[in-house]
Amino acid sequence: MKVSDWSYRDLAGAMAGDGVFLHLGPFVTHLRCAIPLVAEGVHALYADYRCERQAAFADFRVRLGPPRGVRRWYRSQVLFYFDDWPPFKPLPYNQAFAMFEWGMNWCITSHSQQHLMLHGAVVEKNGWGAMLPGPPGSGKSTLCAALVNRGWRLLSDELTVVRTDDLLLQPLPRPVSLKNRSIEIIAEFAPEAKIGTPARDTDKGTVAHMKPPPGCVEQADQLATPAWLVLPKYIGSAPPVLTPLAKGDALMQAVDNAFNYSVLGVRGFDAAAQLIDGCDCYRFSYSSLDDAMRVFAELADGSQ
């Protein structure tokens, strides 16, 4: 059963009651929440995901709700609970869905240590994966959203999951996080894209999430072979420039953007080193998404 098989009323009622079991790639999340903003976001942006009233097992049990005291009513706030424990400070009520997304990122990176996890987007074409690691503001999510709307398959816009046993890329498709000007840029670039209600005045500015295309969710069990590591950098009014990156520098970039490199120890180093050794590595600066699409099409065609 998919989320789209539920009416909004039924989904919101189930979430407010015993909760629902939402399948997010290889993970199952038991979600309880009576906040309409979260139910609306799940109903709209997770429409193609499996969702059940009962499941034999859940990787994560999460709940979102108001804190105790006056902040339940005055300048209302919301807390994210993991196993009934709030790992974060409360946020304004209007940021509830964004908090759910951020909380799920934390759940996965903090509790799934069997894989090497990099902070970065990852997309796939013809079975080959392009990893786009980088810090906030580098333009990776904007570039990822554009590629996904031009035929690339979304594996993730935040978490590049590398299986340490075979170095294949594990898909984890979830809504793509867009910030500030990127929201308008993607809305203009891909008018058909479905973008959720923006959360304003967050620590990251205005944040909205783009619904993944249905095929990305349906193919969440199809692994990809890493082929490229590209460090993107948005530079206003600049021409597209794709520059080869030395393997040693690429390895350091991968390590710097890894969530659990130190936790994995030698296994993490071996996985990162073999990953980079098997990839073509580049720096990429751009300003025009149309130019970026052309460069990535040439990469996929093997003409770069």
Q: pLDDT averaged over consecutive 10-residue blocks of the chain (304 residues)?
A: 97 98 95 97 98 95 85 77 95 96 96 92 96 84 96 96 95 96 96 96 95 95 97 91 96 93 93 96 95 95 66
Largest alpha-carbon pair distance within the chain? 61
CA distance 43 to 194: 12
Q: Which residues are paired to 229 by β-bridges?
A: 131, 281
Q: Which residues neighbour 85 within 8 Å (Cβ) at sequence distance 6 or greater?
A: none
Strands (E), the chain: 20-24, 27-33, 51-52, 60-65, 77-82, 91-92, 115-125, 128-133, 153-156, 159-163, 169-170, 176-179, 199-202, 205-210, 225-234, 241-244, 280-286
Q: Where are the beta strands (DSSP E) in 152-220?
A: 153-156, 159-163, 169-170, 176-179, 199-202, 205-210
- 157 and 236, same structural domain? yes
Residue 139 confidence (pLDDT) = 82
Pair type for strands 199-202 and 159-163: unpaired
Helix (H, G, I), strand (E, B) or coil at 105: helix
93 and 159 fall within a common domain = no
Pair (94, 197) in one structural domain: no
Same domain, yes or no: 123 and 270 = yes
> Domain boundary residue among 111, 138, 166?
111
> Is residue 152 domain-shared with residue 187, that is, in the same domain?
yes
Which is nearest to 196 in space by CA: 182, 187, 208?
Answer: 208
To the nearest 10°, report the CA torsion of 189, 190, 191, 195. Answer: -110
Do 18 and 36 fall into the same domain? yes
Identify whether residues 130 and 273 lie together within a single domain.
yes
Q: Is the domain of 34 the same as that of 124?
A: no
- 242 CB contacts (<8 Å, ≥6 apart)? 230, 282, 283, 284, 295, 299, 304
- Domain-terminating residue out of 54, 89, 111: 111
In this prediction, residue 73 carries a pLDDT of 56
Same domain, yes or no, for 273 and 168?
yes
Q: What is the pLDDT of residue 138?
A: 79
Q: Report the pLDDT value the prediction gives residue 237, as an integer from 0 to 100.
A: 87
Find the domain containing 52 and state its range: 3-111
DSSP codes of every residue in 26-58: TEEEEEEE--HHHHHHHHHHSTTSBEES--S--
Same domain, 184 and 226: yes
Domain boundary among 111, 126, 149: 111
Which residues make beta-bridge pairs with 129? Answer: 124, 226
| Per-residue model confidence (pLDDT) at position 270 | 95
Task: Give the model's pLDDT for residue 16.
Answer: 97
Query: What pLDDT sits at residue 265?
Result: 93
d(CA 145, CA 254): 21
Q: Are residues 130 and 272 in the same domain?
A: yes
Question: How far is the C-alpha of 227 from the C-alpha of 46, rounded, in Å?
Answer: 29
Tally of structural domains, the chain: 2
The structure's pTM equals 0.93
Say whether both 132 and 69 belong to one domain: no
